[in-house]
Structure 1
């Protein structure tokens, strides 16, 4: 398989306000992923994704 063009991937690390939990991931579109996480966070009733800081 031949790859054409450039491919950029980002590793992201998120934490909660108390900095007791780390969420990690890989994405090729950091802005889109961040927006998705924020929307997902708002839709959860008990704030299961208590994300506050991008490291």
Structure 2
């Protein structure tokens, strides 16, 4: 696994945890998890999970 894919996996796992356990907006979760914006979080989440983070 490349470093970029590993980093995206770690960021996505943290984002999923935060979505389930906090009431923070997705924009704040995206930034807290290291995504440059919420659009990137949506893209990575959709590719990995097959659905949107909502």
* Pairwise TM-score range, normalised by the shorter structure: 0.3 to 0.5
TM-score by length of 1: 0.33
TM-score by length of 2: 0.33
* Greater helix content: 2
Tell which structure's C-alpha radius of gyration is larger: 1
Q: Does 1 or 2 have the higher relative contact order (CA < 8 Å, sep 6+)? A: 1
